[in-house]
Amino acid sequence: MNKIPSDEIAYHKIKEYIIFGYYKPGEHLLETEIAAKLETSRTPVRDALKRLEREGFVIRKPYKGMIVRKFTRKEAREAYEVRGALEGMAAYLATKRIDDLQKEELSRILEESRIALNAQDFRQLANCNNRFHEKLVEASRNEMLIQMLKNLRAFISISRIYVWTVPGRPTETLQEHQELFRVIKSGDSFLAGQKAAEHVNNSWKVAKKVFEQEWINLEDR
């Protein structure tokens, strides 16, 4: 059995800490502290941080080193606008191209989401949420569209956990996913596109309030 490389382990661990809010946007990431926490050397941590920098999760600041990326209000608005358009298109195409196996996968994810929500297991619910969106986008069978959404992955991952701190939003999210899946199964591609875009817009309405209260830089650049 092949041993997982230490830099791969560090990458997934640090990314998880960022996504689930253990490391906050704007927080400095010190190699020595992370290495001690992960019980590894600084080299795999350094390699992992470089990879996360390429993906947009962290940025390098002069004289400060690596910090968790923090988005401005302008960046947040633009990201949600782009995401809404792209995910609307993804749902439109997925409705036309999805196969039975992918429908089964989405159905299973929604059931796992329901169980996680009832158990108040928000970590598992976030994982299910990510998988739902990823599988839906994959079902579009449009590689360019898939790649464009991957480019937004850092922002989506960091912002999503903060949006879900709002009471009731996790329940609303699951309901919106269930409705979107129902429309996809009905074969109405135009309505599916609209529902997906509405889902992102609803998230943005919540996000605006959370970002201003929590961590976002309120000054547009």
Q: 1 lies in a domain? A: no
* R_g of the chain computed on alpha carbons: 18
Alpha carbons 126 and 123: distance in angstroms, whole number:
5
The CATH number for 22's domain is 1.10.10.10
Q: 195 lies in a domain? A: yes
Contact criterion met (CB below 8 Å) for 120 and 108: no
Q: 158 lies in a domain? A: yes
Q: 35 lies in a domain? A: yes
Contact criterion met (CB below 8 Å) for 149 and 85: no
For residues 131 and 28, state if they share a domain: no
For residues 173 and 83, state if they share a domain: yes
Contact criterion met (CB below 8 Å) for 6 and 40: yes
For residues 31 and 78, state if they share a domain: no
For residues 37 and 123, state if they share a domain: no
- How big is the chain, counted in residues? 221
Q: Is the dihedral of CA 91, 93, 95, 100 positive or negative?
A: negative
Alpha carbons 88 and 125: distance in angstroms, whole number:
22
Contact criterion met (CB below 8 Å) for 170 and 117: yes
For residues 29 and 46, state if they share a domain: yes
Count of C-beta atoms within a 10 Å radius of residue 137: 23
Give the pLDDT of residue 208: 83
> Could you give the number of structural domains in the chain?
2
**Domain boundary pick from 16, 41, 68:** 68
Contact criterion met (CB below 8 Å) for 142 and 90: yes
For residues 85 and 59, state if they share a domain: no
Give the pLDDT of residue 3: 66
Contact criterion met (CB below 8 Å) for 85 and 132: no
CA distances from 39 to 12, 17, 22, 35, 70 (A): 14, 15, 17, 6, 27
Give the pLDDT of residue 214: 60
The CATH number for 190's domain is 1.20.120.530
Consecutive 10-residue runs of the chain (221 residues): their mean pLDDT?
Answer: 75 89 88 92 93 92 87 86 97 98 98 96 88 96 95 82 81 97 98 98 88 55 40
**Domain boundary pick from 68, 93, 113:** 68
For residues 64 and 93, state if they share a domain: no
- The residue among 45, 54, 47 whose CA lies nearest residue 17 is 45
For residues 84 and 186, state if they share a domain: yes
**Domain boundary pick from 68, 83, 100:** 68
**Residue 207 corresponds to which tokens in the numbers above?**
């996000």
Q: 2 lies in a domain? A: no
Give residue 33's domain range. 7-68
